[in-house]
Amino acid sequence: MTKTAWVFPGQGSQSLGMGMDLLDLPSAKEKFARSENILGWSVIEICQTNEEKLSRTLYTQPCLYVVESILADILQEKYSPDLVAGHSLGEYVALYVAGVFDWSDGLRLVKHRAALMDNAAGGMMVALINFDREKLEKAIDENPDAVLANDNSPTQVVISGTPEAVHAVISQVNAKRALPLKVSGAFHSPLMAEVAAEFQHMLDSVEFQQAKMPVLSNVEPVPSTDADILKQRLRQQMTGGVRWREIALALPDHEIERVVEIGPGNVLTGLIKRTSSGLILENVRSVAELPAN
């Protein structure tokens, strides 16, 4: 039988209208209603009509968690994955699917994380496309206030840090494209240490269970089902880098042949395609893309 990994995208993959084809399903209606009680606002309303709010961290992250988890629940009625992973916010959906915490606890964590990150300031993030990796590593070594926040693929990374340090790295690397990200702070960098410390209190209040299947974490792309290890890795995620390129490279090493990206867009399957060859790549972005049986 084909070994399958499910992967879940993070912030940046959201799109207006996402999840709205789920509204006719009773199980989805129940989750949307429960999310409104936890969040104090309507995921449906924002995903349907409010593009400006949907692009703001405070709303983006909970909306993605709700929509991706509902799609995963429906898919899990048909079969379960052999391994899961998620990109940044997507790791919370992966942990939920693996049974590490219940759905409501996961949404409360995401709500708190989103609020803290939305209030972060004093840094920036820039995506670099087509660059010399050796020059990049040297530039980051020479600019300690900039870090490799997202190592997405051999040709795409995100730099995070103080504006001065990030601009210094860009000037030394000569990337084909440098795209500033519309985020409030320097996510996945040491500049988030204060925010991460505040978030830890919330994280410590949630009980983690042993995972039902291995999880590849952002900060340590080695599969684990251990509750304590997975919680410790999540603690490190806010200040640590997303090692997605290494996650993609690890998939064939663990006999994964098929990867299903669950959620809006196709960012992760695109990154995996550029990193690991020979994998079957599929997307489940909507009800229409769910398997019939």
Report yes or no: 87 and 268 within 8 Å, Cβ to Cβ.
yes
Please name the helix (run of DSSP H) or strand (run of DSSP E) that holds residue 208, with its range, or none. none
Smallest CA-to-CA distance from 149 within 114, 191, 194 is with: 191
The CA distance from 166 to 169, in Å, is: 5
Neighbouring CB atoms inside 10 A of 218's CB total 27
What DSSP character marks residue 11? T
Query: Helical H runs in the chain?
Result: 26-39, 43-49, 51-54, 57-76, 90-97, 103-118, 133-142, 163-173, 193-204, 227-237, 244-253, 267-273
Active site includes 188?
A: yes
Identified catalytic residue from 13, 35, 69, 88? 88
Identified catalytic residue from 35, 188, 189, 276? 188
User: According to the 3-state scheme, what is the secondary structure of 222-285?
Assistant: CCECCHHHHHHHHHHHCCCCECHHHHHHHHHHCCCCEEEEECCCCHHHHHHHCCCCCCEEEEEC
Q: Side chain identity at 121, as an amino acid letter? A: A
Angstrom CA distances, 157 to 3, 6, 174, stand at 28, 22, 13
* Active centre residues (catalytic): 88, 188
